[in-house]
């Protein structure tokens, strides 16, 4: 085990084949993590899968009922004290073969001011084109810098990038943290069921005390499964309302203006391409804003249906 050991925490739920694909990419790493902590919230448990990877060191933790933020917090508490770097991966990631080596190299040169670092998701396709940047600035969705958290409560896209840079927030599904950060801060379990924006909320607090970075040469792919876009967009809007309501630095009026821009962009996309998916996203945003702004959002698991 190295002098700066790394433990990866993997929350998972009922996706053994997806998890196996992730673990195969870990097997191929030029530098492997010291420990992989599987935090299993599924009805279909994955503990029987782990012996298929004898060259990896596992710890298994059962957390039920499941919840992404809940599983992350439970995983943090279960990591042995020997590990001073702890990372999270969603199970639907696949790593480039030298990703952990590049990330480990980054950490060996950092001072205690650095609290977290994210892998570089090469297939995110999230960075906006320069052509639409003016309108995104107008609607408080961007101000020309990657990784910002704007006063509308919107986090600007970080990936893919061609050089390592400091960011105000990091993706919760592919990030390494200094142990002391995870001992000081916890993930808000109001986001427990879906985990949408729990990373933005977490990083907003951490960024006030520590520096956060996206590491350009630590590359990964996010192989997401198809999702219910109507539900996903509704959850996104509701969780933004909750996030903005937590902190006085943010403005609900600016959030509404930003989502108006999102809605207009989707309507423009529908008019141009006649893609019905755009209308589902619009319906989800409107329903989510109506729920999030008109009602008092309480801390319950599964707050959006």
According to CATH, the superfamily of the domain at 6-124+160-222 is Spore Coat Polysaccharide Biosynthesis Protein SpsA; Chain A (3.90.550.10)
Provide the pLDDT confidence category of residue 130 given band limits of 50, 70 and 90: low
> Which residues are CB-neighbours of 29 under 8 A, at least 6 positions away?
95, 97, 98, 99, 100, 101
Each residue of 72-127: pLDDT tens digit?
999 999 999 999 999 999 999 999 999 999 999 999 999 999 999 999 999 986 65
- pLDDT, mean of residues 144-158: 90
Nearest Cα to Cα of residue 223 among 15, 1, 7: 15
- The domain ranges of the chain are 6-124+160-222, 229-294
Asked if the model's pLDDT at residue 301 lies above 50, the reply is no
Asked if the model's pLDDT at residue 49 lies above 50, the reply is yes
- pLDDT at res. 126: 60
Strands 114-121 and 58-62, how do they pair? unpaired
Please tell me which residue, 301 or 244, carries the higher pLDDT value: 244
Residue 155 pairs in a beta bridge with 149
CA angle at residue 277 from 272 to 281, to 5 degrees? 105
Mean pLDDT of the chain: 92
- pLDDT at res. 305: 39
Provide the pLDDT confidence category of residue 143 given band limits of 50, 70 and 90: confident
Each residue of 177-196: pLDDT tens digit?
999 999 999 999 998 767 89
CA 277 vs CA 190, 233, 234: distances in Å: 28, 11, 13
CA angle at residue 205 from 22 to 258, to 5 degrees? 85
- pLDDT, mean of residues 152-161: 92
- pLDDT at res. 191: 86
The count of other CB atoms within 10 Å of the CB of residue 34 is 16
Question: DSSP code of 145?
Answer: -
CA angle at residue 280 from 278 to 285, to 5 degrees? 95
- pLDDT at res. 131: 65
Following CA atoms 145, 148, 151, 155 in sequence, which dihedral angle do they give, to the nearest 10 degrees? 110
Each residue of 238-288: pLDDT tens digit?
999 999 999 999 999 999 999 999 999 999 989 999 989 999 999 999 999
Each residue of 195-227: pLDDT tens digit?
899 999 999 999 999 999 999 999 999 999 888
What is the spatial distance between Cα 35 and Cα 50, in angstroms, rounded to a whole number? 13
Cut 0.75: pTM above it: yes
> Which residues are CB-neighbours of 112 under 8 A, at least 6 positions away?
178
- State yes or no: cis peptide before 217, omega within 30 of 0: no
Q: Is 116 helix (H, G, I), strand (E, B) or coil?
A: strand
Asked if the model's pLDDT at residue 5 lies above 90, the reply is no
Which regions of the chain does DSSP assign to beta strands (E)?
6-12, 35-40, 58-62, 85-89, 93-95, 114-121, 165-167, 174-178, 211-222
């Amino acid at each position: 085990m190295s002098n700066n050991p790394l433990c990866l925490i993997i929350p998972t739920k009922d996706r053994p084949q997806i998890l196996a694909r992730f673990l195969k990419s870990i097997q191929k790493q030029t530098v492997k993590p010291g420990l992989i902590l599987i935090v299993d919230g599924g009805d279909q448990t994955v503990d029987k899968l782990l012996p298929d990877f004898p060259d990896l060191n596992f710890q298994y933790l059962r957390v039920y009922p499941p919840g992404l933020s809940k599983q992350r917090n439970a995983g943090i508490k279960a990591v042995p004290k020997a590990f001073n770097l702890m990372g999270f991966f969603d199970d639907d990631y696949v790593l480039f073969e030298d990703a952990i080596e590049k990330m480990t190299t980054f950490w060996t040169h950092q001072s205690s001011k650095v609290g977290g670092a994210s892998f570089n998701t090469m297939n995110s396709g999230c960075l906006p084109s320069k052509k639409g940047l003016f309108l995104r600035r107008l609607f408080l969705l961007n101000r020309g810098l990657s990784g910002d958290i704007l006063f509308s409560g919107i986090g600007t896209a970080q990936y893919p990038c061609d050089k390592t840079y400091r960011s105000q927030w990091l993706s919760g599904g592919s990030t390494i943290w200094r142990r002391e950060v995870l001992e000081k801060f916890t993930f808000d379990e109001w986001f427990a069921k879906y985990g949408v924006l729990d990373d933005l909320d977490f990083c907003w607090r951490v960024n006030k005390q520590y520096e956060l970075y996206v590491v350009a040469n630590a590359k990964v792919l996010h192989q997401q499964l198809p999702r219910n876009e109507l539900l996903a967009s509704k959850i996104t809007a509701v969780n933004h309302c909750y996030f903005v309501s937590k902190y006085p630095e943010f403005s609900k009026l600016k959030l509404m203006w930003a989502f108006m821009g999102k809605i207009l962009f989707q309507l423009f996309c529908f008019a141009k391409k006649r893609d019905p998916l755009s209308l589902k996203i619009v319906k989800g945003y409107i329903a989510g804003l109506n729920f999030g702004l008109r009602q008092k959002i309480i801390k319950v698991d599964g707050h959006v249906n």
